[in-house]
Chains A and B, each alone.
Chain A
Amino acid sequence: MQQAVHEGSPAVGSLVASDICVHPSTSVRTVVEKFFESPQIEAFGVVEGREAVGLLTRQKLLFSVFRRYGFELYGRKPVIMITDTEPLYIYERERLDVAINKALARPSQDVYDEIVIIDEDGFYKGLLPVRQMIIQQSNLLANSIVQREMAHERAKELEKINHVKSQFIANVTHELRSPVNAIIGRAELMKISCEKGYIDQLRDRLNLVMSGAAHLRAIITNILDLSKIEAGKMEIIYEEFDIMGTIREVTETTRVLLGAKPVDVSIESGFRTLTVMSDPIKIKQILTNLTSNAAKFTDRGRITLGLLASHDELTITVKDTGIGIKKEDMDRLFIAFSQVGDVTTKRHEGTGLGLTITKSLAHMLGGGIAMDSEFGRGTTFEVTMPITHNTLISQEDDDNGHRR
């Protein structure tokens, strides 16, 4: 009998609870003893050769036997005499839900009898109690509810991801087009200067075009880096390098970024050199992202780059006396494009990609990033990385105090 296996409802053959059976010629007494010896047995299949010929349930057998004179009447007789020879036979390929319907459609005195599972040839496969079928069915039902709920959740999640994706694309589009348009505008101004013969204007305007192009390049690099991180293509390549050298290099770049703003940039660390095993490019990227943010949001005061090494941790800090971050904005800080939020209501210049990338890089190096800020007073970013036995290679302490 070919029966399509329904994915929600298993075939009863897979649920057979016991294949315990007796031969029809077994004496009633023997079967009664078996029931007394094994209280967990509720029924026997009656099987001749391999063929199922009936069902003996504990309840019905004991009922007939313990009626008045029952035992005297039947004790020595073959069990077939009091066997239910027309129990509910169900093919092993039948689906559970169909089998339950058949079982429950029986007359009330038989409704709790085990069903007898047989194969296509009528050979005995075992018994299945109705109670167990129903438990199984309700488990399946519960599972399917859970699964439906999970599928629903997943669908909602996907919808959200989809929304974020299209938002992301809208943001990328705007964030790329905006600097390009700025460059076009500045180039047009240069053209106007040329046409008017105002040659002395050209140098300033050329500088604006170049800084616009540099800004655009930084955004493109960030977007590409983020895609690389998200695609799992960003690789960490460990090598020995002097992390103090990297910090000094970034300090110089930061001074250039600040231009004429009255901001002092300094390093706070007890080391002259500190050779570590890490990825110098990623460390530099982390530092550059943090310091360029500091430079952007600090108009006066100080930006301090710090490096601390404890026995198990390397801590890099970038501290500024800039505009600070409001409490309600802190959570969104490490989310791509969150600075822009919805393109139609952006709050600050920038894509918010830098911190997203910085956080991912810190995680890839086995560390993390933390932030503390007071609105109007300044912000401190702290990147920590674990020092394993081979991270810290060598160090030279700074002998003229702890500052440079």
Chain B
Amino acid sequence: MDTGAKRILVIDDDNNHLIAVKEILEIEGHDVYTHNKPFGSTSLAKTLEPDLILLDVNMPGLSGDALSKLLCSHSKAPIVFYSSNDEDSLRQMVRSHNVRGYICKGDLYGLREKVAHYLTLSQD
């Protein structure tokens, strides 16, 4: 039985967000890995086999929604958008992409709760 901590991969070009998310989720007892650019994220996802991927939507070079498609084809990990974008646009993006859901940046309660929620789902 899998008793170890859950592995979460966070992809965001903004290091400030990465630092904050890493520390907050580590306190929740997760193993948090961060990556600050789209490039290399697919191979990382492949080798890391995370239980959940938090993906920023606006990144230089490759947009998060395009990246989500790439990640989907390389990894089975459920993807959740983590973004400062408008909630309505995130909701729409979730619908049109093969991702599990979204979390609004700045909503720290939502971050903890939803991460826990999506991790439970991915267990099934």
The chain A residues found within 8 Å of chain B, CB to CB, are 170, 173-174, 177-178, 180-182, 184-186, 188-189, 192, 208, 212, 340, 342-348
Residue pairs across A and B with Cβ atoms less than 8 A apart, 7 shown, are A170-B86, A177-B85, A182-B20, A185-B105, A186-B20, A189-B24, A344-B57
Q: Which of A180, A189, A212, A342 touches B23 (beta carbons < 8 Å)?
A: A189
Q: Is the CB of B20 within 8 A of A346?
A: no
Scoring A170, A177, A180, A184 by chain B CB atoms within 10 A of each residue's CB, the highest score goes to: A177
Q: Which of B63, B64, B86, B105 touches A173 (beta carbons < 8 Å)?
A: B86
Extra 11 A-B pairs, beta carbons < 8 Å, given A170-B86, A343-B57, A344-B64: A174-B84, A177-B105, A185-B24, A185-B105, A192-B24, A192-B27, A212-B16, A343-B85, A344-B58, A345-B58, A345-B62
Asked if B9 is at the interface of the complex by the 8 Å CB criterion, the answer is no
Shortest CB distance B52–A (Å): 18
Q: Is the CB of B106 within 8 A of A344?
A: no
Q: Please, which residues of chain B bring their CB within 8 A of the CB of A345?
A: 58, 61-63
Asked if B94 is at the interface of the complex by the 8 Å CB criterion, the answer is no
Chain B 54-75, CB-CB to A under 8 Å as 1, else 0, gives 0001111111110000000000
Q: Is the CB of A347 within 8 A of B61?
A: yes
Q: Is the CB of A189 within 8 A of B19?
A: yes
Q: Please, which residues of chain A bring their CB within 8 A of the CB of B61?
A: 345, 347
Shortest CB distance A303–B (Å): 23
Total residue contacts A-B, CB cutoff 8 A: 70
Q: A343 CA to B62 CA in the complex, in Å?
A: 11
Q: Which of B17, B20, B63 touches A344 (beta carbons < 8 Å)?
A: B63
Asked if B14 is at the interface of the complex by the 8 Å CB criterion, the answer is yes
Q: Please, which residues of chain A bring their CB within 8 A of the CB of B23?
A: 189, 192
> Which residues 34-51 in B have Cβ within 8 Å of A in the complex?
none
Q: A239 CA to B50 CA in the complex, in Å?
A: 63
Q: Is the CB of B105 within 8 A of A178?
A: yes
